[in-house]
Amino acid sequence: MEFLELAKARYSERSFEKSHPIEEEKLSKILEAGRVAPTACNLQPQKIYVLKSEDSLWKAAKLTHTYEAPVVLLICYDENVVWKNAREEGYNSGEQDASIVASSMMFEAEELGIHSLWIRGFNSKLVSETFELPENIKPVLMLALGYPKATSEPSPRHLDKKPLSDTVEER
C-alpha cells in the first residue's frame, strides 16, 4: 500500500480480538521497524518491553485501558544513553526517540494488518514500580497491538482532522 494510503487507513484500535494472537514473525518485523528508526545521534536509547504473558497484560491493564490487546509494547528510553542538548540545559531527546521508534512500529504493524493504540494515559511512577524498571529507564508510551474485532470501526474523533490551513503556515 502507498504510504499516504496506509497513514489514512490507520486508526486507533479500541476493540482488539483478544483470542487472535500476533504471529511471532509479524511481531519480529514490527520490532525490526523500531530497531532501524532514526534517533538523535543514532544513540538508540530505546528500551522496549514486550508484554504478552497473561500476568504482564493483566498488570498493564491495571495501569491503563489496554482494550484486551494480546500484545502491549512498553516503550521507554534509557536516560544514561539518551542525547543531551548542549545548547539547552536539561533537554534530552528521549521522548522524541521513543516516539519515532513507536511510530515506525505502528505503521509496520498497520502494513501487516495489525491494528494499534498509542497509550499515554498512565502514571509513569506506577508503571516503573509495577514492571520493576531500573531508575535510568523512563517509560514514554505503551503501544497496544492486535487484530481488530470484526465489528471494529474508527471513533468519530478519528475523522475530525483539522485542515492543513489550521496547522501549517509559512514564515
Ligand X SMILES: Cc1cc2nc3c(=O)[nH]c(=O)nc-3n(C[C@H](O)[C@H](O)[C@H](O)COP(=O)(O)O)c2cc1C
Q: Which residues contact 82 (CB under 8 A, 6 or more apart)?
A: 40, 43, 45, 92, 93, 94, 97
Of the candidates 11, 16, 83, 147, which one interacts with ligand X according to CB under 6 A? 11
Closer residue to ligand X in complex, CB, 121/163: 121
Among 33, 114, 119, 143, binds ligand X (CB under 6 A): 119
What ranges in the chain are assigned the alpha helix state H? Answer: 3-9, 24-35, 54-63, 94-111, 124-130, 164-167
Considering only the stretches 1-9, 50-58, 128-136, 150-158, report the one whose residues sit in contact with ligand X under the rule CB under 6 A.
150-158
Task: Compute CA 136 distance to the chain's CA centroid, rounded to the nearest angstrom.
Answer: 20
Stretch that binds ligand X, among 9-17, 38-46, 88-96, 105-113 (CB under 6 A): 9-17
* 96 in contact with ligand X (CB under 6 A): no
Q: Does 121 participate in binding ligand X (rule CB under 6 A)?
A: yes
What 3-state class would DSSP assign to 106? helix
Nearer to ligand X, 89 or 160 (CB): 160
Residues 5-10: contacts with CB within 8 Å, 24+ apart?
A: 6/107, 6/110, 6/111, 7/107, 9/110, 10/106, 10/107, 10/110, 10/115, 10/116
38 binds ligand X (CB under 6 A): no
Which window, 21-29, 51-59, 82-90, 119-127, contacts ligand X (CB under 6 A)? 119-127
Residues in contact with ligand X by the rule CB under 6 A? 11-12, 14, 117-121, 154-155, 157-158
